[in-house]
Structure 1
């Protein structure tokens, strides 16, 4: 057994255990941390498969952005964990059976690729000719160019819709008109007003005055 094969089994085993702990942890913060560990192990598996771009993207996008945001939300919200876990073990056998069935289907589909003994192009030669990221970019911007543009347009529309929903006028929100904010000037933000002095003279107590006169 080679070192890469041994590392693959180690990373895969840790990833499966961490994924199982995600759905069985009683604390939502612990579940989010186990999910971070799952993503890290998946990134290491991608690295072993020489998919450097996917590995780095998994760490930066999911671990660095999505999971951190999700972890902060979980920590700030007062979640009733006991109410969410009612009936979990009751439905767990059915969920486990469905998950096992999906795993068997994925294994059947994957075994067909592992059993191939002849290939048309040498993957080592192709990988040595061009970097992995450049190959991915060439495929995305040639064969899947229109699909990439459609996905980008959908994400742009979703981002605009999210901003519009956030800025809409509601009773329980502090709404500010963006047009008025852009048109604001310095003189509108700060106004200097001249006011008369209101400081009072220091008061001298009667006892102090009498002592001074006696001396």
Structure 2
């Protein structure tokens, strides 16, 4: 076994284990940390495929920004874990059926004559001055521009939905309405009182 194949199987094994721990661990902070480990191993696999740009973007964007945001949200919100786990076993059969269907589809795709691992040719050697970042940008913005725009719209809808779901009024907090502050007149705030002079 070559060293590159050994590193691939090592990274893939750790990544699958960490992904399983993301959905099975009880503590949400531990789940977020296991997701960080999953992203790091996925970046290592991208490096083995000579896609350095994608590996660096995965580490910088997901580990450096998204996971930090996840950790802040998880630690700042008061999440009732027991209430979230009340209906876990009722959703397990549906989740198992969906997982089996996805596994069967992946087996069919990877074992096909065009997508099988044995049928894949070796990538050609990189020429002088070749940049996979430039090639990725060219393919992304020419051949796959419409799926790219569709994915950006889906992410925009997801961001708006996340803001709309978390934006709720709190009854216990005091807040000021700027429109009411601007509309206030002098007579509403100042009252002139005439008092008699005091006599000694």
Structure 1 residue aligned with 2:41: 41
- Aligned mates of 1:13, 1:157 — CA distance in 2: 33
- Aligned mates of 1:92, 1:34 — CA distance in 2: 22
- Aligned mates of 1:115, 1:43 — CA distance in 2: 20
Shift of the 79–160 alpha-carbon distance from structure 1 to 2, 3 Å rule, reads closer
The answer to whether residue 130 in structure 2 is matched with residue 128 in structure 1 is: no
- Aligned mates of 2:120, 2:12 — CA distance in 1: 27
Structure 2 residue aligned with 1:208: none
How far has the Cα of 1:9 moved from its partner?
Answer: 0.9
Give deviations 1:133-187, integer Å, cap 9, x for gaps: 11111212322345545666x489769969x97xx9x89756669xx9xxxxxxx
Structure 2 residue aligned with 1:109: 109
Structure 2 residue aligned with 1:202: none
Structure 1 residue aligned with 2:189: none
How far has the Cα of 1:16 moved from its partner?
Answer: 0.9
**Structure of higher CA gyration radius:** 1
- Aligned mates of 1:15, 1:156 — CA distance in 2: 25
For structure 1, the residue ranges without an aligned partner over 5 or more in a row are 181-215
Shift of the 54–107 alpha-carbon distance from structure 1 to 2, 3 Å rule, reads farther
TM-score, scaled to structure 1: 0.64
Structure 2 residue aligned with 1:199: none
- Aligned mates of 2:147, 2:11 — CA distance in 1: 33
Between stretches 87-96 and 49-58, larger displacement belongs to 87-96
In angstroms, what is the RMSD of aligned CA positions? 3.5
Shift of the 145–94 alpha-carbon distance from structure 1 to 2, 3 Å rule, reads closer
Say which SS state the counterpart of residue 86 (structure 2) adopts: coil
Structure 2 residue aligned with 1:85: 85
Shift of the 12–93 alpha-carbon distance from structure 1 to 2, 3 Å rule, reads farther
Say which SS state the counterpart of residue 142 (structure 2) adopts: coil
How far has the Cα of 1:101 moved from its partner?
Answer: 3.2
Equivalent residues in 2 for 1:196-215 (5 A)?
Answer: none
Structure 1 residue aligned with 2:63: 63
Shift of the 102–145 alpha-carbon distance from structure 1 to 2, 3 Å rule, reads closer
Contact 2:109 2:116 in 1 (8 A): no
Contact 2:43 2:55 in 1 (8 A): yes
Q: Which has the higher helix share?
A: 1
- Aligned mates of 1:124, 1:174 — CA distance in 2: 65
Say which SS state the counterpart of residue 124 (structure 1) adopts: coil
How far has the Cα of 1:52 moved from its partner?
Answer: 1.7
Structure 2 residue aligned with 1:22: 22
Shift of the 175–131 alpha-carbon distance from structure 1 to 2, 3 Å rule, reads farther
Shift of the 160–8 alpha-carbon distance from structure 1 to 2, 3 Å rule, reads closer
Shift of the 149–29 alpha-carbon distance from structure 1 to 2, 3 Å rule, reads closer
Shift of the 159–96 alpha-carbon distance from structure 1 to 2, 3 Å rule, reads closer
